[in-house]
Amino acid sequence: MSQAIKVLGKGLVTPVRSPILHTPDEYGLAYEDITFPSVDGTPLEAWWIPCPGSDKLVIANHPMNFNRYGIASHLEPWATPGGNDVEVNYMADYKNLHAAGYNVLTYDSRNFGNSAAANGGVFTWGLFESRDVAGSLQYIKSRPDTRTMTVGLLSRCMGGNATYVAMTRYPELFADVRCLVNPQPTSLRPFVENNLAMMGAEDQFDAVDWQIQLNTSFTIDQLSPLEYAKNCHVPTFIIQVRDDLLTKPADVQSIFDNIPVADKKLFWIEGSTRRWDGYNYFPEHPEQMIEWFDRHMS
């Protein structure tokens, strides 16, 4: 087995933490640094961005390698193949939500940003991270000022995968969740297949699968959100770069198809092959996101 295959397999489940380069106050948003526990007790670092007079709350989480700020992928070593060497800064998301009348809670998942290490530092594409989604919902129920708020979720990529897993494992926590906005969910399989294609090593899938299992104790397909999406029972809006070099549209379509609700929407971002354009879409074009939250949280 080549060293490149070992590096790929390990890199997909043991990411390097990105620094937090911006904070909400730089964009005119008052906020508090807070900490709350995941359901297994892992301390999670978060920002509470209040919107005085509002009883609506959006809980936001982040993709793999990212944190609550976004990702410093304009810097090494956080640049990603496929042209994904531009910064993603989620402060615009929070400013747009706040301007539309939403309180925001956003946090670093385990092993990312400033949150605690857990599970040996491995990343499981949503399985262990689902405990953090559940912890965020428990936290808002523990606060007198938030426990009766109307709740929506902005769960991006890995955060979306983790949300589907949490919906399966902790369904009682989602009883009061009105809707979900989910930019770019993905299974690990197409990620591996496309990376191998870029390496000219398409025949090495089983070798990468073995490396993933050695590092996490799970196979590639055990880390997929496909089956967990069948337990999503809230109105769901998915967006995805259709020609994303790192994933495959059929996988995203399958996740969408597995969501068993009539009130759902899939929006394809056209004219790009860069995955990061999907992460930057709502910060730059918030209208559809705000409309979805407004419609389901009024």
**Among the listed ranges 25-39, 73-87, 90-104, which one has the minimum average pLDDT value?**
73-87
**Average of per-residue pLDDT across 103-115:** 98
Residue 120: how many other CB atoms lie within 10 Å? 11
**Model confidence at 82: pLDDT above 60:** yes
**Average of per-residue pLDDT across 96-109:** 98
Q: Provide the pLDDT for residue 264.
A: 98
**Model confidence at 1: pLDDT above 60:** no
For residue range 6-21, list pLDDT tens digits in order.
989 898 999 899 999 9
> Six-digit token pair at 228?
């967990």
Q: Provide the pLDDT for residue 270.
A: 98
Instruction: Considering only residues 199 and 99, tell me which one the structure prediction assigns the higher pLDDT.
Output: 99
Instruction: Considering only residues 199 and 106, tell me which one the structure prediction assigns the higher pLDDT.
Output: 106
For residue range 224-238, list pLDDT tens digits in order.
999 999 999 999 999
**Average of per-residue pLDDT across 191-201:** 92
**Average of per-residue pLDDT across 71-81:** 93
- 110 burial (CB, 10 Å; 0-12 / 13-18 / 19+) is buried
80 falls in which pLDDT band (50, 70, 90)? confident
- 142 burial (CB, 10 Å; 0-12 / 13-18 / 19+) is exposed
Q: Provide the pLDDT for residue 174.
A: 98
**Average of per-residue pLDDT across 48-76:** 97
Quote the mean pLDDT of the chain.
Answer: 96
Q: What percent of the chain has pLDDT over 90?
A: 93
**Model confidence at 256: pLDDT above 70:** yes
Q: Provide the pLDDT for residue 206.
A: 96
pTM of the model: 0.97
Q: DSSP states of 235-274 as a string? A: -EEEEEETT-TTS-HHHHHHHHHH---SSEEEEEEPS---
